[in-house]
Amino acid sequence: MTILNNKTQQSSGRQGVTSRKRTRKNDPERVRADIMRVATREFSEKGLSGARIDEIAEKTQTSKRMIYYYFQDKETLYLRALEQSYQAVRHKEGELDLDHLPPVDALARLVAFTFGHHISHPDFIRMVMIENIHHGRYLGQSEFIQSLNAGAIEELERIYRRGVTSGDFRDDLDPLELHWLISALSFFNVSNQYTFSHIFNWDQAAPDNQKILQGHVIDMVMRYVLSREAMLRHLDGQPDPQA
Amino acid sequence: MTILNNKTQQSSGRQGVTSRKRTRKNDPERVRADIMRVATREFSEKGLSGARIDEIAEKTQTSKRMIYYYFQDKETLYLRALEQSYQAVRHKEGELDLDHLPPVDALARLVAFTFGHHISHPDFIRMVMIENIHHGRYLGQSEFIQSLNAGAIEELERIYRRGVTSGDFRDDLDPLELHWLISALSFFNVSNQYTFSHIFNWDQAAPDNQKILQGHVIDMVMRYVLSREAMLRHLDGQPDPQA
DNA sequence: TTCATAATGTACGAAATGGTACGTATAGTC
DNA sequence: GACTATACGTACCATTTCGTACATTATGAA
């Protein structure tokens, strides 16, 4: 039972250069954010059951005690990490500034952005995958995420309506279903890159191939949405007359 | 140290109706298959780290000992379950009998089948999701899976080539990339149904909506693959002249 | 200054969990 | 029937892992 009792004089030797005494600084916001940052990475990498609270604590500036102080238990911590993941990828409306573009260009750009945005946030993708493995049980508990994403398709809706009005787009599509199609292609590109690459011995993540796939996705969506007339122009490679 | 030693006369009371004595029957194949069946379900439901060997053992007719006897450790068991999942969904070439159909019809049918096939095998989808969470580390160890899927796109390749020859399809597509597009749409439909349904308050799994989505996917792929001429026929709703 | 409350650190515990030691039974071969 | 390799069961162990008891310090208000 040799318990070393080095309470005093035991300094982490990291944050205090001037004061060598143990002058603890209370900084709840920082501690919370620190935990969240580490937890999000751990959960997204290893899943809810794979992540270890002790490991999260170690990678933190603080202790395991604080995790349970700010978040009741592992599941709550996971839920908060999930929420933060969703929040982190949510881009502000109008950030793309698409409303001034002709519908055809606007849609092409939105699809291109969505595709790239998914690539830029692999840990978000992983969190969503993990959450789906859990049948969306935790997401269902979060009214926060629901409200957050409620307006996620407003931008697409505006573009689509403009396109229908201008005659560039067919008028029989549902923006939600269109969003589903775009999401599917963008999501799969990140989520399944490992298995797909392995099985077909094809380096899907290689920049060249990513460019090819992005081109396919954009073109595929455009061809699906364009009206008959716009499609003919598209097939003939003619520029948009409005441009 | 009270150890109850009820070795004899301790019968599970399940499998033997006639013989009341403990007449154990050696049946390696059955034991192995039993373990595999349970393990596959457990892993696909809870992931590699979430699944519990003890729980798998409990749901088995046999004991934990046997799991380690036939499979060295948890990871090997997972790998075998992964392999079995891939094997289970692999359908035989020609099973669909598409080669006698005109290319346009054949492709539409292949897409429809792929979409439905994914729906019919949710645990396979889950295993693939889980494996991607693990960066495809285990799949990489299995030459079995790779050889299994090598010919997975041969059917699509044949159809595509026929379509190019007949003039129904454009000639600038790569069958592998085409397969990627079809897979993405079919996979996402199962993998992300929980989060997507929740976020947009839309019951994606409802039969009506599944029909709608399947229609979108088929039509989207067709529009992407059709040649200019075939596209015009398609847009005008005219039947395939070859039919 | 006093005092209450929020914030933090250390050590520990109970249960879960992957894996194994050890012994027994089965079945095919000679 | 004797023998041996394979198949199988029970109890157990070492470690991991989530979570907490308990003590202490910081901070702001009265």
Residue of A nearest to B220 (CA): A224
Nucleotide lying nearest to B75, CA to C1' measure: C18
pLDDT attached to residue A23: 57
Among A157-161, A168-172, A179-183, B140-144, where is mean pLDDT lowest?
Answer: B140-144
Instruction: Say yes or no: Cβ of B62 under 7 A from any atom of strand D.
Output: yes
Q: What is the pLDDT of residues A114-142, one digit of tens each?
A: 999 999 999 999 999 999 999 999 999 99
Residues of B in contact with A46 (CB under 8 A): 49, 133
Instruction: Say yes or no: Cβ of A66 under 7 A from any atom of strand C.
Output: yes
Residues of A in contact with B176 (CB under 8 A): 200, 202
Residue of A nearest to B194 (CA): A136
Q: Are the C-beta atoms of A47 and A75 separated by less than 8 Å? A: no
Question: Could you tell me the distance in Å between the CA of residue A129 and the C1' of nucleotide D17?
Answer: 24
Segment B220-240 mean pLDDT: 87
Q: How many CB atoms lie within 10 A of CB B19?
A: 10
Segment A196-221 mean pLDDT: 97
Domains of chain B by start residue, with CATH: 28-87 (1.10.10.60), 91-235 (1.10.357.10)
Confidence check: pLDDT of A4 > 60 = no
Q: What is the pLDDT of residues A42-54, one digit of tens each?
A: 999 999 999 999 9
pLDDT attached to residue A12: 33
Confidence check: pLDDT of B183 > 80 = yes
Q: Taking CB atoms and an 8 Å cut-off, how many pairs form between chains A and B?
A: 155
3-state SS of chain B?
A: CCCCCCCCCCCCCCCCCCCCCCCCCCCHHHHHHHHHHHHHHHHHHHHHHHCCHHHHHHCCCCCHHHHHHHCCCHHHHHHHHHHHHHHHHCCCCCCCCCCCCCHHHHHHHHHHHHHHHHHHCHHHHHHHHHHHHCCCCCHHHCHHHHHHHHHHHHHHHHHHHHHHHHCCECCCCCHHHHHHHHHHHHHHHHHCHHHHHHHCCCCCCCHHHHHHHHHHHHHHHHHHHECHHHHHHHHCCCCCCCC
Quote the mean pLDDT of chain B.
87
Among A146, A148, A188, A221, the residue to mutate for chain B (most B Cβ within 10 A): A188
CA distance A189 to B180: 9
Confidence check: pLDDT of A39 > 90 = yes
Asked if the C-beta of B33 comes within 8 angstroms of chain A's C-beta atoms, the answer is no
CA distance A43 to A210: 26
